[in-house]
Amino acid sequence: MNMTSNIPAPTLPIATPETTPASVRARSAIELQAASVVFGTGETAVTALSPTTLKMASGEFLALVGPSGCGKSTILKLVSNLIRPSAGVVLVGGREAAARKLRIGMAFQNPTMLPWLTIEQNVMMPLKIVEPFKRSYRQDKKGAFRDRVHALLKQVGLGDFANHFPWQLSGGMLQRSNLCRALIHEPDLLLLDEPFGALDQFTREELWQIMQDLYLDRAPTVLLVTHDLREAGFLASRICVMSARPGRVISDEPVTLPQPRDIATIYSPEFVEMTQNLREMIAQARSS
Ligand SMILES: Nc1ncnc2c1ncn2[C@@H]1O[C@H](COP(=O)(O)OP(=O)(O)OP(=O)(O)O)[C@@H](O)[C@H]1O
């Protein structure tokens, strides 16, 4: 399913994967060098992440899987610079604490739409607050921004819901809006923490396809945390498995299936074998 043909030509001088210089794209390469995280001190200290080494190239789609509490979300927080490592180094684009210089999009399990704003206004929010869009927004370019929001909403099948309020949408529709809000400002780096976790299987599969289209269209660097091994296999170009808390990466393998993938792929013997292997690794990690 490729919906890119529905998008009107961009009306703003916004970077696309084709126009973004390699130097800019390289800024979103990620590297953890023996990075560890301890929350708290003394007797109440919790080691959330063992020294972890992980490298991601710009434009890569990496899925992190592992037992509950092993430190997956902690890695997202490190990469986004919400927290600093207790030891080791986290580099984004080759520099420490550099995430704030990047355009980052985030989507979590529970979409946090502002209930008093319409879907259009919610999705527009990053354009209001993130440079360079913020400057143009102030210069009354709202018409162009609105066109951009509508094009993206249309791409995910929400073209007719721009003026609805969040409470008028289903869970799946809210998750689509959530993805739109995470992508509207053309992020270099997309951090996804179980973004489809609360959805039924059919809606989830539909959103995997939408996510895949958006990724192939825009090529951001994506770090996806998920418990759903099929989701990891369907979307990612690489899967890292973590050990139980305090976690570290115990397996790091590419997903060799060609992209774009369709839903039938997840029933192929190759795919089933891959997810079974991942499942066994996680089951072992949980019990050890
Ligand atoms: N701010 C905090 N203060 C204290 N402990 C924390 C904090 N944040 C996370 N932890 C602990 O660190 C560990 C790792 O948490 P994290 O959220 O990274 O795990 P996770 O792998 O994402 O878990 P899940 O799959 O269940 O979402 C957990 O034991 C958690 O309780």
What's the ipTM?
0.97
Q: So what's the pLDDT on residue 93? A: 83
The finding on whether 47 has its CB within 6 A of some atom of ligand 1 is no
Nearest ligand 1 atom to the CA of 49 is 14
User: Which atom in ligand 1 lies closest to the alpha carbon of residue 47?
Assistant: 12
C-alpha 236 to ligand 1 mean position (Å): 23
Instruction: Using the atom order of ligand 1, give the atom closest to the CA of residue 77.
Output: 18
Answer yes or no: is pLDDT of 11 > 90.
Answer: no
Could you tell me which residues come within 8 angstroms of residue 229 by beta carbon, excluding any fewer than 6 positions away?
Answer: 65, 275, 278, 279, 282
* Closest CA to ligand 1's atom 24: 68
List the one residue out of 253, 137, 250, 140 whose CA is nearest residue 185: 137
Length of the chain equals: 288
Rounded Cα–Cα distance for residues 250 and 285 (Å): 9
Confidence of residue 268 (pLDDT cuts 50, 70, 90): very high
Section 247-263 average pLDDT: 93
C-beta 69 within 6 A of ligand 1: yes
| Residue 288 near ligand 1, beta carbon < 6 Å | no
Dump pLDDT digits (tens) for 175-220. Answer: 889 989 988 888 888 999 998 877 788 888 888 998 898 899 888 9
Preceding omega of 132 cis (within 30 degrees of 0): yes
Provide the pLDDT for residue 8.
36
Q: At residue 47, does pLDDT exceed 90?
A: yes
| Structure confidence at residue 142 (pLDDT) | 61
4-15+25-287, superfamily in CATH?
P-loop containing nucleotide triphosphate hydrolases (3.40.50.300)
Under a CB-based contact definition with an 8 Å cutoff, are residues 229 and 220 in contact? Answer: no
- Look at residue 15 and tell me whether its pLDDT is greater than 80: no
pLDDT higher than threshold 60 for residue 17: no
Lowest mean pLDDT among 105-114, 185-194, 208-217, 223-232: 105-114
What is the residue-averaged pLDDT of the chain? 85
* CA geometry: angle 40, 44, 45, nearest 5 deg: 45
Nearest-atom index, ligand 1, CA of 225: 22
Domain spans in the chain, listed from the N-terminal domain onward:
4-15+25-287
Percent above pLDDT 90 for the chain = 54
Report which protein residue has its CA nearest ligand 1's atom 4.
39
> Is 100 within 8 Å of 28 (Cβ atoms)?
no
Q: Could you read off the pLDDT of 117-145 as tens digits, one per residue? A: 999 999 999 888 887 787 777 776 568 88
User: Would you say 176 and 210 are in contact if contact means Cβ atoms under 8 Å apart?
Assistant: yes
Percent of the chain with pLDDT over 70: 89
The whole-number average pLDDT for the span 223-237 is 96
Q: Which residue has the higher pLDDT, 61 or 93?
A: 61
Mean pLDDT of the region 255-282: 94
- CB of 197 shorter than 6 A to ligand 1: no
Structure token pair of residue 1 = 């399913």
Q: What DSSP string runs through the chain?
A: ---GGGSPPPSS----TTTS-HHHHGGG-EEEEEEEEEES-GGG-EEEEEEEEEEE-TT-EEEEE-STTSSHHHHHHHHTTSS--SEEEEEETTEET-GGGS-EEEEESS----TTS-HHHHHHHHHHHSTTHHHHHHTT-HHHHHHHHHHHHHHTT-GGGTTS-GGGS-HHHHHHHHHHHHHTT--SEEEEESTTTTS-HHHHHHHHHHHHHHHHHH--EEEEE-S-HHHHHHH-SEEEEEPSSSB-EEEEEE--S-SS--GGGGGSHHHHHHHHHHHHHHHHHHH-
Residue listed under structure tokens 């396809």: 209
